Amino acid sequence: MTSGAASRDARPVDQYAVIGNPVAHSKSPWIHARFAEQTGEAIEYGRVLGTIGAFADDVRAFVNAGGRGMNVTVPFKLDAHALADKLTPRAAAAGAVNTLAFNADGVLGDNTDGVGLVRDIEGNLGVELKGARVLLLGAGGAARGVVLPMLDCGVAALAIVNRTASKAQILVDHFSDAARAANVRFSGGGAESLEAGPYDVIVNATAGSLDNALPTCNDASFGPGTLAYDMMYSAQPTVFMRHAERLGARPADGLGMLVEQAAESFFLWRGVRPDSAAVLRALRLELSK
């Protein structure tokens, strides 16, 4: 073995993990293992089953054991936001954190969900968001995390629809200054509030597909030029994807968003951007087995 190889083998292995409850199903360890193989970064990435009501204790235990960063999944994104000593602008806007970085200055909280969605739609699916009319279904944490990145990428219009219309209006009020600065037509309410005609992109940010339930929407919003994107993913098309396809739209799931948000977390931690497209192809193949 050469001295160069020996020195590489002797590098300390930094520890990362995803924390959630449940967490055994998470694909994040598989994804980050592929990123590490690609880039040569010396990391190990595991799972932490978070304790409801004791999230901060679990994170501190991980940090004390040498942990450098964590991804955060349900139901702890609001806990992570509260724990962070400093927030990135996108995490502050989202009001939720899915990525933690631990350093000498304390705990940095970030939210990579929105940028992951945008990169999947534009980079992997080839749909340009600049100038597009976008419909966002749902007004919960998942929706909140993607509003600012959508506004930032130059959409022409963004409408938020929720079964409880007042919750959609709350998001519109929260992001109204950003929408004005971006010169975006921005609205929210129930399905009856929608502009006429099909949208270019419809994003299902509800958890309805987990329960095989369709979100509140208007079938007239779907057309042959519509990308119907479900943030959820599974081995088979979701109920939302099947519904959209019956209406003539192009369906897509959220697997690419999962990989892209992970790539952004990896970049935050390591300063290296992995080839996310290659990992996405490999993950789809893995899930099809």
Radius of gyration of the chain (CA): 20
Q: Indicate the length of the chain as a whole number.
A: 289
**Which of 246, 243, 236, 248 lies closest to 217 in space, CA to CA?**
243
Task: Please tell me whether 26 is known to bind a ligand.
Answer: yes
Q: Which residues, 6+ apart, have CB-to-CB distance to 180 below 8 Å?
A: none
Task: Please tell me whether 206 is known to bind a ligand.
Answer: no
Q: What is the amino acid identity at position 269?
A: W
Task: Please tell me whether 241 is known to bind a ligand.
Answer: no
Q: Which residues, 6+ apart, have CB-to-CB distance to 55 below 8 Å?
A: 19, 76, 79, 80, 83
Positions marked active-site: 77
Q: What are phi and psi of 183, to 5 degrees?
A: 60, 45
Task: Please tell me whether 289 is known to bind a ligand.
Answer: no
Task: Please tell me whether 120 is known to bind a ligand.
Answer: no
Report the SS3 class of residue 19: strand
Q: What is the amino acid identity at position 109?
A: G
Task: Please tell me whether 86 is known to bind a ligand.
Answer: no
Task: Please tell me whether 162 is known to bind a ligand.
Answer: yes
- Are the CB atoms for 226 and 202 separated by under 8 Å? yes
Task: Please tell me whether 254 is known to bind a ligand.
Answer: yes
Task: Please tell me whether 34 is known to bind a ligand.
Answer: no
Task: Please tell me whether 40 is known to bind a ligand.
Answer: no
Q: How far from the centroid of its chain's Cα atoms is residue 185's Cα? A: 23
Concatenate the DSSP letters of all residues of 239-267 into one string. Answer: HHHHHHHHTT-EEE-SHHHHHHHHHHHHH
**Terminal-residue alpha carbon distance, the chain:** 37
Task: Please tell me whether 165 is known to bind a ligand.
Answer: yes
Task: Please tell me whether 276 is known to bind a ligand.
Answer: no
Task: Please tell me whether 14 is known to bind a ligand.
Answer: no
Task: Please tell me whether 116 is known to bind a ligand.
Answer: no
CB atoms within 10 A of CB 13: 10
Binding residues for NADP(+): 138-142, 162-167, 231, 254
Binding residues for shikimate: 26-28, 73, 98, 113, 233, 261
Binding residues: 26-28, 73, 98, 113, 138-142, 162-167, 231, 233, 254, 261
